[in-house]
Amino acid sequence: MVLRKFEEISLAANYHLIELPVFEDTELFTRGVGESTDVVTKEMYTFEDRGGRSLTLRPEGTAGVMRSIIENNLDRGQLPVKVFYKGPFFRAERPQAGRYRQFYQFGIEAVGIDDPYLDAEVISIAYKGFKKLGLNNFELHITSLGDEESRARHRVEFTKFLSQIDLDDETRSRVNKNPLRIFDDKRTDIQQKIASAPLLIDYLNDVSASKFADLKLALTQLDIPFTLNPRMVRGLDYYTGTAFEFVHGGLGAQSGIGGGGRYDGLMKTLGGQDLSGIGFGLGIDRIILALESEGLSASAQLAGEYLDLFIIPINSAAKSLGLSLLEEARNSGFVADMGFGDRSLKGAMKAADKLSARYVLVIGESELQSGTGKIKRMSDGFEESITLSSLVNALKNAL
């Protein structure tokens, strides 16, 4: 149901499903995600196939989307290419609450156009989904990593700063690959050492600063509250410009329920045109934990939004009539289900309640005899008498 919510919102914004392979050539991720990242250095499930090729279970979706766009020439068509994807991803991390070696993401990518209003659209899709699920205890953090020129200007000052502080060899070598990674370091002594470090956000050139200003205006226009977090470091190396994370307050250490940003050089690095893109990945497992922490149940609460009718048959003749009525209701676009098995009326009513069905129709002897029945509105118990042959019309009027 969580997935369905994000799918609906994405479809309404003209994003379409892209199916991606679960494993890809290892090189796609080493080149795409970046050699300074934990994801590539420590967390990939890499293996050789029978032909001696090195393959990797996908740790994320963006690189695969780029490969697919390039291979299928989608970048030569209408831009932006807008896609969404969902499914299992794999990272060999130490498992803990909210952190799994196989986890599920819903992601979207809008590729080929560099426009802060598109950034706002992407962020708004995630935000709207969280709100529609009923989540409240979360924050949106944003920053800008600037363009190449801004990052180069910052890197000069930042490297100078880092060369003056004392770092162990491992940290030094990580920082040499990507200086920004140091902000990811959770150790308090390191955090103290970099407390006064020069921040990239203060080195944005006019173009990058004006894009970031437009993004903030657009988010404000859409009533999306955000917090500026210039020390945010995304775990993947391809980000440029806008970067964002959704952080939930009820999850402890693994608080990121989704994140994303713009990636300028990724497509070119992977052998395609020099096109920019933006997207996000949402952690479905963590979203479910977040719902639970706010006292919301992912299944029951949401199932109700889609279950229009629940039929309760009392015997097998009633079940047979119920089967035809289900077909009619479903063919007319209603989401309908029936109490299969031999449940008592009480048990079946409980099931209807748990599924948050909007209407319930009980079919017993008298309904079979008379061809009439009552649809019961579960929210307040109101009952309406109907002719069973016109169930669909009754539902149309009622819903």
Query: Smallest distance from the beta carbon of 353 to ligand HAM, in angstroms?
Result: 32
Nearer to ligand HAM, 184 or 305 (CB): 184
Query: Smallest distance from the beta carbon of 308 to ligand HAM, in angstroms?
Result: 32
Residues of this chain that interact with ligand HAM (CB under 6 A) are 60-62, 91, 93, 98-100, 103, 105, 107, 109, 235-236, 256-261, 279-281, 283, 285-286
Query: Smallest distance from the beta carbon of 160 to ligand HAM, in angstroms?
Result: 29
Query: Smallest distance from the beta carbon of 215 to ligand HAM, in angstroms?
Result: 15
Nearer to ligand HAM, 56 or 356 (CB): 56
Query: Smallest distance from the beta carbon of 221 to ligand HAM, in angstroms?
Result: 23
Nearer to ligand HAM, 34 or 256 (CB): 256
Query: Smallest distance from the beta carbon of 369 to ligand HAM, in angstroms?
Result: 55
Nearer to ligand HAM, 58 or 358 (CB): 58
Nearer to ligand HAM, 198 or 279 (CB): 279
The residue at minimum Cβ distance from ligand HAM is 283
Nearer to ligand HAM, 285 or 367 (CB): 285
Contact 1, 302 (CB under 8 A): yes
